[in-house]
Structure 1
Amino acid sequence: MFLMFSVGNRQSTINVFNRTGLALCILLFSAIMYGKEYHVSVKGNDANSGAEATPFRTINKAAQVAYAGDVITVHAGVYREWVNPPRGGASDDCRIVYRAAPGERVEIKGSEVIANWQKVQESVWKVVISNVFFGDYHPYKDLIYGDWFDARGRVHHTGEVFLNNKSLYEKETLDKVLHPVANTGIADAEGSTYTWYCESDNQNTTIWANFHKYDPNKELVEISTRKTCFYPEKPGINYLTISGFYISEAATQWGAPTAEQIGMIATHWNKGWIIENNVISNSKCSGITLGKERGTGHNVWLNDRSIDGSLHYIEVTFRTLQNGWNKEQIGSHIVRNNEIFACEQTGICGSMGAAFSLIANNHIHDIWTKRQFTGAEIAGIKF
């Protein structure tokens, strides 16, 4: 007698001759059902097997080999990468779980450390960075824009500069970095004098920053380089769990309900994610986004002012329904027990992607505190 069974892409055939063979079959089936556990460590190597004794170096490597039922355990350290899962789980009971190792601090950052700053005058420093460094996404050329976004008459880049895990204030002229003026209309007036400005040409990007009493070559100075930290580029990546991470410092874009919405964690309008027990901070725009994808429209009002934005949103809603939006494919997420702060658009947003979801017990605070831009899509939670 032969038994054939499969989970995900794994298929096995067992020749069962007797009770011993049947018992072996059951044990093997149980092992497949419960999946594998892969380990990731900053001391690992992506050429390893991913076992606890021979961990991978990057979360992305683990993502490439994980299938439904598997667990990815990430150990202490800072991981500077965009996690782009190629597949999801099979059901609510057969997920792919991404988790920080219990009791360990695991950070996923959308930034890189920048050294070799040169002093310009007193508290102002500059650094020149080759554009090659940024790869296919350049946050210091990419401007924030979108439906219902108000730039207040100036440019804003998706990139950001951080001094010891706190963001500086971007300015539109170098003079405002050389001679900063405090914004007394916000809570952190003193902090608003820590400023930065950038210029880019075809070869290099130059960033000037006013660090006041701090020497940037002796402190932790980072700049945002990735547009997200955890986001599947393709749809259909369902039933993922993201638990226990510190996620920060991505160069996120404005997420209007009529545009693709990509936060530092972004579901790409998929189904059945659990996002829990994370600390999410320092996003240029949004922390967590539960929608929308690009195919049904992207900043449609910005591209057509002939009708009101609310009518564009209604049209987008109808297009999503025509394109197969339904409860079986989108939503039903759980977002719980996260702390989300220092995001300048929203803590959590998601046009139609939050449908049928549970959003509970999240501590969301200090959203839009810098007041550098404004718009109709700013809130702690905006659905």
Structure 2
Amino acid sequence: MKRMKFNKIWIILCATIIHLNARTYVVSPQGNDGNPGTAENPIQTISSGARRAQPGDTILVQEGIYRERVTPIRGGRPGMPITYRAERGKRVFIRGSEIWKTKWRKEGNGIYSAKPEDHLFDDRSSEYLDHHNPFKVLLSSTPYRREGKIEAERKAEGDNRFGETDDRVAYTCGQIIVNGLPWMEVPLKEELASNRWWYDPKGERIWIHFGSTIPEEQKIEITTRRRLFAPTKRGLGHIIVEGFIFEHCGNQYPTNFWKEDKYAQKGAIGLEAGHHWIVRNNLVRYAKTTAIDCGRVDGDTPHNGYSHDNLIERNYFIDNGSAGILSYGSKNLTIQNNVILRNNTLKFFGKKRWEHGGIKCHHFKKGKIEGNYIAHNSYSPGIWFDNEF
């Protein structure tokens, strides 16, 4: 009995010492990643904080715009999470885009074109099985209620659920944001009109119809990253993400995600089959497709020990291309008090376009969804349980 009491006291003492040694790394746009990360000498990127943080530590991010993909490399422990926190009351952006200042070529009638430089696309994660440049990756299903190249290929392979298709019609995972708003992509050059853009895969040029405006006088952002906050290692636990504004993300629509790894279910924020995450008080908007995934991401994720006891609360998931929240095979997932509004802006609808909506959950076990405001998610259910009853 005395030995048991001694062991308990020793465990509590060790935990206390670790907690007292917990650090706060301060991040500022004016910082330097060679700094120690103190308030007086902050680091410059959230990613630098992610590389340094140990269980119990906090990465405190000051006001500003951070153009990076944050990849946590480790999780916390029970009672000692790793916390990523935006400065309270400040606007802290994590964007998957870069400001694009380029040499434009006049194409006539208000249309200009340019070729983005490859160095802009700095999210070179090994998880991308197709390409790191979202403009070189086709969406896995055709949006806007059209039947295009992807559907034509599936039809040729024997899937006869599609009607008439047009194999010229294909959309990319890229985004063009002008003066703060995403402009609409069109799949054909002849469909270009004011405030729309088209990607030429042969010339690798982006054509934009600026109407009567001059491109050099506009703030143009180009999506250069395919995710915003997600580990590449699966199953990390005890991570808190709170207070950020996440914008612009060239992610994929997860058609057949359970059997085609390149179409894995991956949001702008991704828990990557993690456990004991808390995602709280964030705004996620203008992702190409999904705002957040909080379950297993594909058919290769083990069923046991992954994707459980996560909390998604008091967030705003607004104006994303397909879905607000996606989950596959989660256990004890709580989704509460979120605003999920105007998602599926790309109007996915039809055969092989089933992974969108306000909240879409596959194999939802012992979870809770309550107190959310869910409205105006185009061509989508507010809450969809796909449990294969």
TM bucket, shorter chain: 0.7 to 0.9
* Structure 2, unpaired ranges of 5+: 1-9, 125-131, 149-168, 362-389
Q: Aligned ranges for residues 108-119 of structure 1 at < 5 Å?
A: 108-116=94-102, 117-119=104-106
Give, in angstroms, the shift of residue 79 of structure 1.
0.6
RMSD: 2.6
Residue 215 of structure 1 aligns with an amino acid whose one-letter code is: I
Q: Which has more radius of gyration?
A: 1
Distance 1:102 1:171 in 2: 39
C-alpha displacement of 1:146: 6.2
CA pair 170-68 structure 1, distance change in 2 beyond 3 A:
same
Q: Partners of 1:334 and 1:148 in 2: how far apart?
A: 30
* Residue 113 of structure 2 is aligned to residue 126 of structure 1: yes
Contact 1:343/1:366, CA 8 A, preserved across alignment: yes
Secondary structure at the residue paired with 2:267?
A: coil
* Counterpart selection for 2:274 from 266, 270, 273: 270
Q: For structure 1, which segment, 282-291 or 121-130, has the greater mean C-alpha deviation from structure 2 after superposition?
A: 121-130
1:61 is aligned, of 33, 36, 48, to 48
Could you tell me whether the CA contact under 8 Å between 2:27 and 2:62 is conserved in 1? yes
TM superposition shift of 1:27: 11
Q: % of aligned pairs identical?
A: 28
CA distance in 2, matches of 1:372, 1:220: 28
Q: What are the superposed Cα offsets for residues 280-338 of structure 1, whole Å, 9 maximum, x if unpaired?
A: 000111001012234x35xxxxxxxxxxxxxxxxxxxxxx6xx4x23x54221111111
- Choose from 337, 341, 344 the match for 2:314: 337
Unmatched 5+ residue regions in structure 1?
Answer: 1-12, 14-25, 181-192, 298-319
Question: What is the deviation of 1:236?
Answer: 2.9
CA pair 27-291 structure 1, distance change in 2 beyond 3 A? closer
**Which residue of 2 is the match for residue 100 of structure 1?**
86
Tell me which moved more, 26-35 or 229-238.
26-35
| Residue 163, structure 1, aligned to residue 163, structure 2 | no
Alignment of 1:98-247 (within 5 A): 98-116=84-102, 117-134=104-121, 136=124, 137-145=132-140, 152-153=147-148, 154-177=169-192, 180=193, 193-201=194-202, 205-247=204-246
CA shift for structure 1 position 28: 11
- Number of residue pairs aligned between Structure 1 and Structure 2: 315
CA distance in 2, matches of 1:209, 1:133: 18
Q: Is the 8 A contact 1:148 1:377 kept in 2?
A: no
Deviates more, 1:123-132 or 1:335-344: 123-132
Counterpart in the other structure of 2:370: none
Report the CA distance between 1:198 and its aligned residue: 1.0
Superimposed CA distance per residue, residues 159-204 of structure 1 (whole angstroms, 9 cap, x where no aligned partner): 1111122111111121211xx3xxxxxxxxxxxx521111245xx6
User: What's the TM-score, normalizing by structure 1?
Assistant: 0.76
Shift of 1:210: 1.4
Taking structure 2 as the reference length, the TM-score comes to 0.75
Residue type matched to 1:158 in 2?
A: C
* Cα separation, partners in 2 of 1:146 and 1:35, compared to 1, 3 Å: farther
Distance 2:57 2:82 in 1: 5
Q: How far, CA to CA, are the matches of 1:88 and 1:163 in structure 2?
A: 36
What residue is the counterpart of 1:286 in the other structure?
290
SS of equivalent to 1:248: strand
